[in-house]
Amino acid sequence: MQLSDEHIMIRKMVREFAEAEVKPVAQEIDETCEFPWETVKKMGELRLMGMPFPEELGGGGGDTLGYTIGVEEISRVCASTGITMAAHTSLGCYPIFDVGTEEQKKKYLPDIASGRKLAAFGLTEPNAGSDAGATETTAVRDGDHYVINGTKCFITNASTAETFVVTTMTDKEKRTRGISAFILEKGMPGFKPGKKENKLGVRGSDTGELIFEDCRVPAENLLGKEGEGFKVFLRTLDGGRISIGAMALGIAQGALDASVKYSKERKQFGASISSFGAIQNMLADMATEVEASRLLVYDVSLAKDRGERIIKEAAMAKLFASETAMKATRMAIQIHGGYGYMKEYDVERFYRDAKITVIGEGTTEIQKLVIARELLR
């Protein structure tokens, strides 16, 4: 795909930043599970934490494709940082930009779209994962407030974010049409982060619970209309799936780059292993699938900015890119042999990081369900 000069510049700028500032700490934050505050602060200063939002609201003033390239380039060296950026932008900031009132946008977006504060999205619950409509967290109207009770889990940026979009059930009888979204702020009485998770991959990212115990939220913090929270979050997830596709694409590209380099350096049987057909086969498969993923992810990014219906296309891009990341990282370890199994080599981390992309923001199975429903509707 021919990129515009602007998008080529974005890639160059983010790649240089990623190589200089993100890559050097990637292994360390994976090992220590320490949140990369310094990196995230610098990303805010470079306007990388709100790339697709207007400048007057604190954002980078770019489009979805530019943002997609940004997530791809960061994830190419560190998926923990990539998922932090993606969850903050697509899930935390986007719904406020999408359906927030003018007051809500002015109150919250300048701080989060500029990266001065982090944002998060509270959807998943212990009993509401793929069946996201089965939310058990309740919000009950009490005068000019709502009282929220419940627990969210597996939330990216749970303990580092200061602004949250959270889904609740305001009318259980109506099931998905009884779901409403709210904007929450860190420190509201009755609202606190819970247990921080210890994970297989993206270990430098912050994943944890959100706990609500009689949390009183002003009614003006209702995001969108009461009962329309389900549609708000499904639309949010359409965009989120593009960014997980971009993250997966970045991981796969990182695995391919590492494999090309290593295969040229590594000598066995008196020759570089890149001269062997078995290795070339794997490299060719990886490169082809990475490129196909890129086309799907970029194409749906452009379609989103044209305002098209992207439910099927976002699911396809996420499905294909995430499965590609799984395959490409598996092959990368195979090409690296015993060394690839060791923590000194990035591909060991890439392999573990890839796994979340076939689960988060809808499993592979849910993406297929969404695609089939769109085909058959």
List active site positions.
361
132 binds ligand COS (CB under 6 A): yes
CB nearer to ligand COS: pick between 15 and 235? 235
As measured in angstroms, the least distance from the Cβ of 24 to ligand COS is 29
- What's the DSSP call for residue 215? E
Q: How many CB atoms lie within 10 A of CB 263?
A: 20
The region of 138-146, 207-215, 316-324, 357-365 touching ligand COS under the rule CB under 6 A is 357-365
Q: How many CB atoms lie within 10 A of CB 107?
A: 17
Q: Which of 121, 146, 262, 320 binds ligand COS (CB under 6 A)?
A: 121
Alpha helices, DSSP H only, in 166-222?
A: none
Label residues 78-100 b or e (16+ Cβ within 10 Å = b): bbbbbbbbbbbbbbbbbbbbebb
As measured in angstroms, the least distance from the Cβ of 240 to ligand COS is 6
Measured distance CA(281)–CA(108) in Å, rounded: 50
Pair type for strands 267-268 and 222-223:
unpaired
As measured in angstroms, the least distance from the Cβ of 361 to ligand COS is 4
CB nearer to ligand COS: pick between 84 and 263? 84
Dihedral of the alpha carbons of 139, 140, 146, 150, in degrees to the nearest 10: -30
The region of 55-63, 165-173, 187-195, 362-370 touching ligand COS under the rule CB under 6 A is 362-370
231 binds ligand COS (CB under 6 A): yes
Of how many residues is the chain composed?
Answer: 377
As measured in angstroms, the least distance from the Cβ of 204 to ligand COS is 19
DSSP codes, 242-257 = HHHHHHHHHHHHHHHH
CB nearer to ligand COS: pick between 283 and 303? 303
As measured in angstroms, the least distance from the Cβ of 151 to ligand COS is 15
Q: Which of residues 236-295 bind ligand COS (CB under 6 A)?
A: 237-238
86 binds ligand COS (CB under 6 A): no
Measured distance CA(10)–CA(153) in Å, rounded: 34
Q: Which residues bind ligand COS (CB under 6 A)?
A: 91, 121, 123-124, 130-133, 176-177, 230-231, 234-235, 237-238, 311, 360-362, 366, 369-370
